[in-house]
Amino acid sequence: MCYYNGQKVTHAEFIRLKQLEKALAKYDFLTHDLNIGFEYGLNAVLKPMADKEDFDIVPMEWGFIPHYINNRADLKHFRFGGVNPKSGKFDVPIITLNAIGEELFQKVTYKKAAMESRCLVLSSGFYEWRHIFPKNKKTGLPLKTAVKYPYYINLPEKEYFYMAGIWTPWTDKNTGEYVESFSIVTTKANQLMEQVHNAKKRMPTMLNEDLAYESIFGKLDEKRITEIAATQYPAEEMKAVSISKDFIAALDHQKPFEYADLPALEVA
C-alpha cells in the first residue's frame, strides 16, 4: 500500500496520481488566465525540434534577452532602466516584449532569431487599451488626455490560437542559469484592432494553422518571413469586448463590462 496526501491508496492509484502530477507540472503554465508582459513571466511556446518536423511545447520567458546581456542584474537594468553606474546618466528601459514584423531584419537584436529561431506563442486571447478623448463641454473640442478602456480580444471559435514569435537561448554568465526567451511579432492593426488599439494601431501577428506551421517548419527567405510576419488575421473571425478597468485583479479577467460613455466598435 502507498499513501497519497496521507490517504491509503492502492499502488495503481498512487502511480496514477503521480503520473497526473507529472503531467500537470509540464502544463502548469498553460493554466494561467493572464500573462502580463511587464512581469516577464513564463508563457507556453511551440518550439520546433531540431529536425524541423515536430515541435515541443515549452515554457519561455516573455521578453527577448539579447546575447550581449551578461547576467540577471544587467537584464533588470536593460528592462527597467535606471542610472548607469559608469556614466551617471539615466538609461531608458528597453522593451523587447514585441518585435515589429516589418522590421525584423532591420534590427540587429532580432535579425538572427527571425531567420533561425521562429516559434509560435500559444494564446487564448489578449488585452489592449482603447483611447477615447472626451470632448470639452464648453468648446466641444477633444480633451488632451484620453480615457483608457481595456478590451479582451479572442477568437470565439478557437480555444487557443498562434501568435508568431522569435526566440533565443540565453545563459547568465554569473550563475549559469539557462533561459529561453521570446518576443511576440506584431503587424499593422486590422479593421477591428485599429479601433481597439487606436493609440498604436498594431496587433500581434496571429497565424492560421497553415501559416503557423510554415512559419516554424518552412525553409524561408527574408521576403517570405517578412510576409508572414505582416499577416493580418481576419477581423471578422475576432471578437473584442470591453472589460472592467480592474480586470487584472478580477477573478474572471475576461468578464464583459459595458461603459455608458464608450462608443460601440464598428463591426468588421
Partner 1 sequence: MENSQDIFELSFKQGRIRIQRHFVSSQTIYHVVFSDKRSPLVVTRALTDNASRWWTSIPEGRQREAEEIGPLITAYIKANQL
Q: Which residues of this chain interact with partner 1, rule CB under 8 A?
A: 1, 4-10, 13, 16-17, 19-21, 23-25, 27, 31, 33, 124, 156-159, 251-252
Residue type for 246, please?
A: D
Taking the least distance from each CB to partner 1, the nearer of 13 and 194 is 13
In the complex, the smallest distance separating the C-beta of residue 55 from partner 1, rounded to whole angstroms, is: 19
Taking the least distance from each CB to partner 1, the nearer of 32 and 76 is 32
In the complex, the smallest distance separating the C-beta of residue 128 from partner 1, rounded to whole angstroms, is: 21
Separation of alpha carbons 115 and 113, rounded Å: 5
In the complex, the smallest distance separating the C-beta of residue 247 from partner 1, rounded to whole angstroms, is: 13
Taking the least distance from each CB to partner 1, the nearer of 17 and 58 is 17
261 strand-pairing partners:
none
In the complex, the smallest distance separating the C-beta of residue 111 from partner 1, rounded to whole angstroms, is: 38
Separation of alpha carbons 35 and 209, rounded Å: 23
In the complex, the smallest distance separating the C-beta of residue 4 from partner 1, rounded to whole angstroms, is: 6
Taking the least distance from each CB to partner 1, the nearer of 58 and 220 is 58
Written in H, E and C, the secondary structure of 151-168 is EEEECCCCCCEEEEEEEE
- β-pairing verdict for 178-188 and 161-171: antiparallel
Tell how far CA 45 is from the center of its chain.
Answer: 10
Taking the least distance from each CB to partner 1, the nearer of 124 and 232 is 124
Separation of alpha carbons 21 and 168, rounded Å: 29
Spatial CA neighbour of 237 closest among 202, 198, 193, 199: 193
Angle (CA) 37 265 246, round 5°: 40
In the complex, the smallest distance separating the C-beta of residue 266 from partner 1, rounded to whole angstroms, is: 25
Taking the least distance from each CB to partner 1, the nearer of 72 and 239 is 239
